[in-house]
Amino acid sequence: MASAIASAAPATPGFLERERTVAKPGFNRWLVPPAALAIHLCIGMAYGFSVFWLPLSKAIGITQPLACPKDMSFIAEVFSSTCDWKISTLGWMYTLFFVFLGSSAAIWGGWLEHAGPRKAGVVSAFCWCGGLLISAVGVINHQIWMLWLGSGVIGGIGLGLGYISPVSTLIKWFPDRRGMATGMAIMGFGGGAMIGAPLADKLMKYFATPTSVGVWETFVTLAAIYFVFMMAGALGYRVPAPNWKPEGWEPPAESTVKSMITDRHVHLDVAWRTPQFWLVWGVLCLNVTAGIGIIGMASPMLQEVFAGKLIGVDLAFNDLNPTQKGQIAAIAAGFTGLLSLFNIGGRFFWASLSDKLGRKLTYSIFFLLGCSLYASIPSMAAAGSLALFVAFFCVILSMYGGGFATVPAYLADMFGTKMVGAIHGRLLTAWSTAGVLGPVLVNYIRDYQLDHGVPKAQAYSITMYILAGLLVLGFICNWLVKTVAEQHYMTEEELKKEAELAHENQHHFVANVETLAHEATHNGKVFLAWLAIGIPLSWGVWMTLQKAAILFK
């Protein structure tokens, strides 16, 4: 009899299962954004990986690169341990990062909705930090394929899962401020390099010896630091109980809703087949393609367009001596630091503003304002107006970041919150596409111009006009977005089936209210959680401001 009762009783869910993360009544929702930031600030170091390229390009030569024989094949270079890697070879890491970020988010987004953010966050931590350890072994043995496999492939999978892990959760915790909530988390991804790059630079200098450039030791140290933060973030995730809503908040009446916000839900398998999904896919892809192109060309463009004017001499870039080129390179580094701040700040600013304006209008601003700014940059450069040139780039980068942070709320408005994390995962393939298309488009156009005798100071004009044209296409895609058709919404039976797959039943919720009864929800815990995130973030901002200050001297 006892055995029959035991077999009939539901099994106790494991520690990482979604059921174990359901918050008790009274849980303070402001504890969730710091958990998301803890993960995003770590995986955001993907943006800062270029800090390793120069040291790795002389990992064997130490003081200067030991070049491979000119007749050595590419395959032989990949497996060679006797000559240094080219920076172009190392740069493939970026492509791997964003290809696997998008593909992993697309493949495992549906699994995440059922498994919950805690399990996805833990898997992300093991992939990202484990990838760094594999890369460290690759540096020790001087095998570039191990870096591609470790950080590029395995780490890229960690990027995808870590990136989308908080999206659905935050949108459900903040139905009253969807844009602001996702903006806070995705701001962390943009800020990861702001903290990680200067930290990695200091660690490499600390670990450098006459026989080592200090990279593998830095990889191991970062893996340890990131693992602690990412696990803390993953274990800090909580999901609200079904039908939870903030105290005192009521969903707006249908007649007052601005931007096609629905209180119903579309299944992942249906959402990605709708015109709305592919239009928003185009919106994100075109916005990111233009933005990534700007990020990749900002530093050389500033140096080649303004050249000696940056240091008070009227000389073209090719006429500068090595010392002068070093001076303007330092100024350009400050420029890129300033752009990173606007990229990060724009994620929070524009996503929060979209809560007031609506997502469709916000993206319309991105495309119309962005198009006019891109088209104006050549004339600003020709007129030698450095202040306006810098200001235009800063606004453009704020909207680039804002596009990333606003799109999850856009999807939730149209497709509901039930499977928004999985839908967002599928949509990130637009990022992967843009990550390849943007740099290739910009670099090839520039090279074509230079090969046909166009001066360096003018080689970017056509590129700016082409990027402006991409934004016009983005505006059209956004303008065509309409409310999702009635037949695409999930029925009551389908909603019940999804609830069962996610183990959303009353038994588990009651059990977990008891399990989580020990959790503190007072303001002190919220303060400590934000302090743990605020200290490294403030340090990163300070380091970036120091670099950016050079631009105004």
- List, for residues 430-477, the tens digit of each pLDDT value: 988 887 787 777 777 777 777 777 776 667 788 888 889 999 999 999
Residue 292 vs residue 412, higher pLDDT: 412
**180-207 pLDDT, tens digit each:** 998 988 888 888 888 998 899 899 999 9
Per-position DSSP letters for 494-531, written without gaps between them: HHHHHHHHTT--HHHHHHHHHHGGG---SHHHHHHHHH
Contact 36, 185 (CB under 8 A): yes
Query: Which pLDDT band holds residue 119 (cuts at 50, 70, 90)?
Result: very high
Both 190 and 334 in one domain: the answer is no
- Give the model's confidence band at 311: pLDDT under 50 very low, under 70 low, under 90 confident, else very high: confident
Q: Which amino acid is at 161?
A: L
| Residues in CB range of 282: below 8 A, 6 or more apart | 430, 473, 474, 477
Do 175 and 66 fall into the same domain? yes
Burial string for 474-512 (b: 16+ CB within 10 Å, else e) reads: bbebbeebeebeeebbbeeeebeebeeebbbeeebbebb
On whether the CB atoms of residues 160 and 101 are closer than 8 A, the answer is yes
Distance of CA 198 to the CA centre of its chain: 18
DSSP state of 485: P
- d(C-alpha 449, C-alpha 458), whole Å: 9
Output the CA–CA distances (angstroms, integers) from residue 144 to 95, 133, 179, 511, in the order listed: 15, 14, 40, 49
Question: Both tokens of residue 436?
Answer: 């390849």
Q: Among 480, 496, 512, which residue terminates a domain?
A: 496
Task: Point out the least confidently predicted range of 86-95, 111-120, 396-405.
Answer: 86-95
Same domain, 215 and 282: no
Q: Tell me, what CATH number does 52's domain have?
A: 1.20.1250.20
265 secondary structure, DSSP code: -
From the list 238, 258, 290, the residue with the least C-alpha distance to 18 is 238
Enclosing H/E stretch for 112 = helix 92-115
Indicate the residue type of 2: A
Which amino acid is located at 450 in the chain? Answer: L
Position 339 pLDDT exceeds 90 = no
Q: Are residues 127 and 169 in the same domain?
A: yes
465 in a structural domain? yes
Concatenated DSSP letters of 341-369: HHHHHHHHHHHHHHHHH-HHHHHHHHHHH
Residue 388 lies in a domain: yes
Q: Does residue 507 form part of some domain?
A: no
Q: Flag whether 522 is in a domain.
A: no
Q: What is the DSSP letter of 266?
A: B
Residue 392 lies in a domain: yes
- The rounded mean pLDDT for the chain is 85
pLDDT of 224: 97
Q: Tokens 């592919």 correspond to what residue?
A: 278
Same domain, 55 and 138: yes
User: Does residue 104 register a pLDDT over 90?
Assistant: yes
How does DSSP classify residue 537? H
**Is 177 found in the same domain as 46?**
yes
SS (H, E, C) 383-412: HCCHHHHHHHHHHHHHHHHHHHHHHHHHHH
CA distance linking residue 251 with residue 191, whole number of Å = 32
Q: Per the structure block, which two tokens stand in for 204?
A: 């490499």
Question: Distances in Å between the alpha carbon of 541 and those of 340, 420, 531?
Answer: 10, 31, 15
What whole-number distance in Å separates Cα of residue 83 and Cα of residue 57?
9
Q: Which of 245, 280, 306 is the last residue of a domain?
A: 245
CB atoms within 10 A of CB 315: 13
Reported in sequence order, the residue ranges of 39-173 that DSSP labels E, i.e. its strands, are: none
Q: What are the tokens at 368?
A: 């119309």
Instruction: Determine, yes or no, domain membership for 517.
Output: no
**Residue 455 belongs to some domain of the structure:** yes
Look at 151 and 262; give whichever has higher pLDDT: 151
Q: Is residue 33 part of a domain?
A: yes
The mean pLDDT value for 205-233 works out to 95
- Domain co-membership, 33 together with 149: yes
If asked whether residues 210 and 359 sit together in one domain, one would say: no
CA atoms of 472 and 538, how far apart (whole Å): 37
Report the pLDDT value the prediction gives residue 12, as an integer from 0 to 100: 55
End-to-end CA distance of the chain: 83
* Structural domain span for residue 294: 265-496
Q: How many domains does the chain have?
A: 2
Last residue of a domain, one of 180, 210, 245: 245
The answer, yes or no, to whether residue 371 has pLDDT greater than 80, is yes
The predicted model gives 19-44 an average pLDDT of: 90
Which one-letter amino acid corresponds to residue 347? Answer: R
Counting residues of the chain whose pLDDT is more than 70, the rounded percentage is 91
Is the torsion defined by CA of 254, 257, 260, 263 positive or negative? negative
pLDDT tens-digit series, residues 62-103:
888 888 888 888 888 888 888 888 887 888 888 888 889 989
Does 293 lie in the same domain as 234? no
Q: How many CB atoms lie within 10 A of CB 529?
A: 22
Task: Report the alpha-carbon distance of residue 342 to residue 466 in Å, rounded.
Answer: 23
Q: Are residues 358 and 407 in the same domain?
A: yes
DSSP state of 18: G
- Do 374 and 273 share a structural domain? yes
Q: Which of 332, 330, 326 is nearest to 306 (CA)?
A: 332
Dihedrals φ, ψ of 489, to 5°? -75, 150
Taking the CA of residue 32 as centre, how many other CA atoms within 13 Å lie in the half-sphere pointing to its CB?
25
Of 279, 182, 235, residue with least CA distance to 16: 235
Domain check: are 149 and 207 in the same one?
A: yes
Question: What does the DSSP assignment read for 285-344?
Answer: HHHHHHHHHHHHHHHHHHHHHHGGGGGT----GGGS-HHHHHHHHHHHHHHHHHHHHHHH
